[in-house]
Amino acid sequence: MKAVFADSHYFIALLNERDEHHTTAKEISADLIGVIVTTRWVLAEVADALCTGSGRERVADFVTQVEQHPQFRVQGESDALFARGLALFRKRPDKSWSLTDCISFVVMSEEGLTEALTGDHHFEQAAFTALLCTHA
């Protein structure tokens, strides 16, 4: 598999055994061999979603592992990237895309990525393939 983008839906599905996409996310993960691109904003969404109770330490360790793992490339150090995401957010008032989604779409477009590890239909609205929705 070539480079793909990883959204918070994917990471949450991996970490939460009760998530509807947990099994699919694990199956896809077993076959991933290319670079996995994500953003700091996506990682913040994951931490926010799993911050209660005993999950807090687990998700903090997971985020650290993603940041340090050579298969992952984490984008997000740039104010310019944030501004480009905000410009897309502003440009598409007809969509319910979050700012984090818009930043993800900018990264995917700029890197020529077409597939996202996500179950979020917003990625499909933006003309990307949501692998957790299409994986059989």
The predicted structure's pLDDT at residue 109: 97
Structural domains of the chain ordered from first start: 4-134 (3.40.50.1010)
Side by side, the strands of the sheet bearing 72-75 are 72-75, 36-39, 4-6, 115-117, 129-130
Which DSSP category does 54 fall into? T
Handedness of CA 86, 11, 59, 95 (dihedral sign): positive
Contact between residue 98 and residue 123 where contact means Cβ atoms under 8 Å apart: no
Q: What is the C-alpha radius of gyration for the chain, rounded to an integer number of angstroms?
A: 14
The predicted structure's pLDDT at residue 112: 96
List, in sequence order, the alpha helices (H) in 19-117. 22-31, 40-49, 55-68, 79-91, 99-111
Q: Return d(Cα 20, Cα 50) in angstroms, integer.
A: 16
| Lookup: tokens for 37 | 């691109």
At residue 18, what is the residue type? R
Q: Return d(Cα 124, Cα 114) in angstroms, integer.
A: 10
Binned average pLDDT, 10 residues per bin, the chain of 136 residues: 91 92 92 94 95 86 95 92 96 96 97 96 96 74
Q: What is the pTM of this model?
A: 0.92
| Lookup: tokens for 127 | 């003309």
